[in-house]
Amino acid sequence: MTNKGLLRGVVLSTLALLLAGCAIPRGAALQSEVVGIRPVTGEITLDPNGGYAVYPVTSESLPVIAQWPAITLENDSSRLSWLRRQPQTPSVIIAAGDTVNVTVWDNGQNSLLVGEGGRLAQLQGVVVSPSGTLNLPYLGDVEVGGLSTDAARTRIEQLYAQTLPSVQVQMNVTPGRSNAVNLVSGMNAPGIYPMVDRDMTVLAAISQAGGVAPTLVNPQVRLMRGSNVYGIQLSRLLAEPALDTTLRGGDRIMVMPESRSFLSLGATGQQARIVFPEEKVTALGAISLMGGVSAERADLSGILVLRNYAANAVRADGTSGPPNQRMIFALDLTSADGLFSAGQFQIMPNDVVYGTESPLTSTRTVIGMIGSLVGVANSVQ
């Protein structure tokens, strides 16, 4: 053997030993490494050690999974009730604390209220008492709380007409705090806003406050009325006019960002916590939100969704609930059924969407390294 051949053999042997002793770098685990057991299509496969269960997502399994309890966070809109719209007449309803200006016109001679030579008497800045009454000259306390402006004006005019036949009454109302709504946060101009009429709605109030802050992702509306809290997603409120509920004096409104999110890991487009941009997110939608999967590394037949259920949701039969608290849902995006099923499978808050690495990635890496070794050996003169 020539010196050149001997040297080439030594180089190849040395580099081969180095290759054998090195672990091949990877950005994600293989499906077999994560799961450890082979998923069986249409069946729930239990880990022998009881640590988790694997369920392939298919057209057969989707109806079963749909019966399992949904995972919600404590402040989810889905856990809160909401009030439907109840249209009211577009007039102000007088409440305690409102300020009322009353103008009384009387053309009669020797009017007790207007005085000699006068035509009108102005009663400015009269505040509605806590009991809902106005104290007016010659009438005393007049009940106006709960009445519209027109109804209150008519009542006062009728009472004065008993002694002043030619009287006419005009009045306007400035709402007080009990006839206003407090727009607390999440809007461009939060503050206390008077109710211009009794048919003021949630969306009208938010509009008065300059709309929702543009930085909020999938805004959530909270309505606090007394000790009760109601919640709904803004997108749903906009889509269903019947849900644009009518406000009452003293109501408080908050708009807050979406609190639900899922985690994207492995051979995916990004490693990040991603906020739900809408009410429901499917597995396909989640993959799109995380920038897809790595074309060079990902195993399209091994997209996994890892989910933790509450202990009281577990059911031994796996029908009305998961058979284990720790569930791994396996998605196969290489088949038509797998793709359609992924488009229906709902992602839950705090799910982990994990893109496993294709076994071919390691094979290609080894082949590439071998090629590099041969090139180094051939370069030896």
52 alpha carbon, distance to own chain's centre? 30
Residue 334: how many CB atoms within 10 A of its CB? 11
> In the prediction, which pLDDT does 277 show?
92
Does residue 298 surpass a pLDDT of 70?
Answer: yes
Among the listed ranges 31-40, 159-168, 322-331, which one has the minimum average pLDDT value? 31-40
How far apart are the C-alpha atoms of 55 and 329, rounded to whole Å? Answer: 5
CA distance 145 to 149: 10
Q: Are 367 and 373 in contact (CB under 8 A)?
A: no
Q: Which domain holds residue 113?
A: 99-174
User: Do 219 and 304 belong together in one domain?
Assistant: no
DSSP conformation letters of 284-346 = HHHHHHTT-B-TTTEEEEEEEEEEE--GGG--TTSSSS-SSSEEEEEE-TTSHHHHHHHTTPB
Q: For residue 297, what is the domain's CATH number?
A: 3.10.560.10
> Alpha-carbon torsion 15, 16, 21, 27, what sign?
positive
pLDDT at residue 367 in the model: 45
Three-state DSSP at 282 gives strand
State how far the Cα of 204 lies from the Cα of 195, in Å rounded to an integer. Answer: 10
From 174, 189, 214, the end of a domain falls on: 174
What is the rounded average pLDDT for all residues in the chain?
A: 83
Residue 209 has pLDDT above 60, yes or no: yes
Query: Is 21 inside a domain boundary?
Result: no
Confidence (pLDDT) at 338: 94
Domain count, the chain: 3
Q: What angle do CA 341, 346, 349 make, to 5 degrees?
A: 150
Among 201, 207, 231, residue whose Cα is nearest residue 219: 231
- Mean pLDDT (whole number) for 343-360: 91
Give CA–CA dist 266/26, Å, rounded. Answer: 10
- String of DSSP letters for 9-54: HHHHHHHHHHHHHSPPP-SS--HHHHH-S---TTS-EE-TTSS-EE
**Domain annotation covers residue 225:** yes
Residue 13 lies in a domain: no
At residue 248, the pLDDT reads: 86
| CATH assignment of the domain containing 143 | 3.30.1950.10
The pLDDT-based confidence of 365 (bands split at 50, 70, 90) is very low
In a domain, 371, yes or no: no
Q: Is residue 19 part of a domain?
A: no
Which of 87-91, 183-187, 196-200 ranks highest by mean pLDDT? 183-187
